[in-house]
Amino acid sequence: MSSERKKGWLIVLTGVVVGVALTLGASTAWNKTSTNESCMMCHVHPDAETAWKLSSHYNNGSGVMTECSACHLPPKGTFKHFTAKARMGAKDVWSYITKDKEKIDWESKKELEYATKLVFNESCVACHVNLFPQGISDDGVAAHLYYEQNEKKLGLQCISCHLDVGHYNPNYSHSKMVGVPISAAAQSVKYDSAAVVTSFANFTETVPATAASISMVAIPGGTFYMGSAKGDSYSADDEYPRHQVTVSPFFMSEVEITWDQYWAFYSETMSEGRTPPEKVYANNSREDVDAISGPTPPFGTPDQGWGMGERPAITMTWYAAQTFCQWLSLKTGRHYRLPTEAEWEYAARGGTETPYFFDGKPSKFTNGSLHNRIFGADTTGINRYVIYSNNSRSRTQEPSRVKANPFGLKNMMGNVAEYCSDWYDAEAYAQVGDGVVNPQGPASGTEHVVRGGNYQDDAADLRCAARAHTEHDAWLRTDPQNPKSIWWYSDIKGIGFRIVCDVPEGIQTNE
């Protein structure tokens, strides 16, 4: 064999050896970086490993342990597995090197909204090939049938119902709630009668035969400019045109309705079984407090494990909020209701005409601008008044966290978005002129107005003029019941309400 030919074979052989070595090395590195130990090197939060070992994916009767990569990567052998591993691995390493671990909001990483980005349906189904195993409950059968029929159409994810299977959470439950979780403080006293109101001044409503009391603030009537002018920073089309509105005096609850207050309503009106919606609507059309059909028990813990008491009640539907007002009216003899959109914005502004009722512009507070993404948004002013994405720790907070607006109302912006009585129409403002008095909104519609933004929102979405609306079907996306619940939403956390009381006859308001 010639020297040239030998040299050629040597080069080929060397290439093969190097190629095999590189392949074996890459394969070893690929497998090593998918081990649980490798995952824990970057995921340094102390609860990550502990919660995994307490979960049913680790601590179960079968003795089978589910690896981190089995849930947090698509199934092996797929192209998606390769791309997801490369993308998530690079992100994890970058975060490990560049981020201050003490400043990471670890609690937000436990929430469903974050988990849905890191868990793949394909991986769930690869292991759980039988969705109807022996011993599954009737509720489980209904839920899995709904999943099979709607997974693609609605984009359903297994983790929406099984959030705690990979990382144990003692506050998470997906079974039907049992009993009424009223706090000890809320059971300490029961009121004999409603409050006596003799003047147009702040008062504390007391709900007879319950321990619930509600601080009501007297809101003087007045005229203000509602909406935004074209060209206002971060304004939207449905806020135009800016127009003059007059509202009459009213009382408004100082804070959003709390869990203690809502559970008082629930405990008196709850329906253990599923009542057809048409029968509920018929019952609740009667002026009889004992006939009111209230909420059925929710699935899981509607407070999301964040705490109840003085925190705002959340996840109830607009109809449930309306029914609360009806119940409270019949209990107290006064007319309670949801605020109109005009009343809400008037109360939120508190006599101001600026984007917020405190100093500052959206461009200063938003996370959306390039400058603020690089250098950080200014939070010194807004933090005193608003619970929002930058300070909420991804959950609602108690009213004591913030200061009141000029009218004495707390959490008009942020914490939870609030229902209004109006139907939503993007063109509503264009249909009324200047000088309208006590507008009630459109005569009909499909969604209702929602105001104020919630704990997840950016500061730009919390302006006094910012409008939003319910998304009824989307907020019931993962509810497998047929018919779907008229009382509880399954896919929105940051929604609640505050109430308005009409001024009783004979009360002088000096307006």
Residue 213 exposed, middle or buried by CB count within 10 Å (0-12, 13-18, 19+): middle
* The three-state (H, E, C) secondary structure of 314-380, written as one string: CCECHHHHHHHHHHHHHHHCCCEECCCHHHHHHHHHCCCCCCCCCCCCHHHHCCCCHHHHHHCCCCC
Per-residue model confidence (pLDDT) at position 423: 98
Residue type, 193: S
Provide the 10 A C-beta neighbour count for residue 264: 27
Per-residue model confidence (pLDDT) at position 290: 63
**Interstrand relation of 243-247 and 436-437 (parallel, antiparallel or unpaired):** parallel
Per-residue model confidence (pLDDT) at position 511: 67
158: enclosing H helix or E strand:
none
d(CA 91, CA 80): 16
Q: State the span(s) of the chain assigned CATH 1.10.3820.
A: 33-160
Domain 185-501: top CATH class: alpha beta
Q: Kindly state the tokens that stand for 415.
A: 């914490």
Instruction: Identify whether the C-beta of residue 406 lies closer than 8 Å to the C-beta of residue 262.
Output: no
Per-residue model confidence (pLDDT) at position 215: 98
d(CA 422, CA 470): 11
29: enclosing H helix or E strand:
helix 3-32
d(CA 306, CA 401): 15
Instruction: Identify whether the C-beta of residue 378 lies closer than 8 Å to the C-beta of residue 363.
Output: no
Q: State the span(s) of the chain assigned CATH 3.90.1580.10.
A: 185-501
Q: Of the candidates 116, 33, 142, 124, which has an alpha carbon nearest to the alpha carbon of residue 82?
A: 33
Per-residue model confidence (pLDDT) at position 278: 66
Residue type, 19: G
Helices 318-332 and 259-269, packing angle to 10 deg: 80
Per-residue pLDDT of the chain (511 residues; tens, 9 = 90+): 567 777 777 777 877 777 777 777 766 766 777 788 888 877 777 788 888 889 899 888 888 899 888 899 899 888 898 898 888 888 888 887 888 777 777 777 788 888 888 899 899 988 898 999 988 988 889 889 998 999 889 889 998 888 889 898 888 877 778 878 876 556 667 899 999 999 999 999 999 999 999 999 999 999 999 999 998 999 999 999 999 999 999 999 999 999 999 999 999 998 765 666 666 766 666 666 666 777 888 888 899 989 999 999 999 999 999 999 999 999 999 999 999 999 999 999 999 999 999 999 999 999 988 888 888 888 889 999 999 999 999 999 999 999 999 999 999 999 999 999 999 999 999 999 899 999 999 999 999 999 999 999 999 999 999 999 999 999 999 998 888 899 999 999 999 999 999 999 999 997 6
Question: Cα–Cα–Cα angle for 492, 496, 500, nearest 5°?
Answer: 155
Per-residue model confidence (pLDDT) at position 219: 98
- CATH fit for domain 33-160, picks 1.10.287, 1.10.3470, 3.30.70, 1.10.3820: 1.10.3820
For residue 467, the SS3 value is strand
Per-residue model confidence (pLDDT) at position 373: 85
Instruction: Identify whether the C-beta of residue 476 lies closer than 8 Å to the C-beta of residue 484.
Output: yes
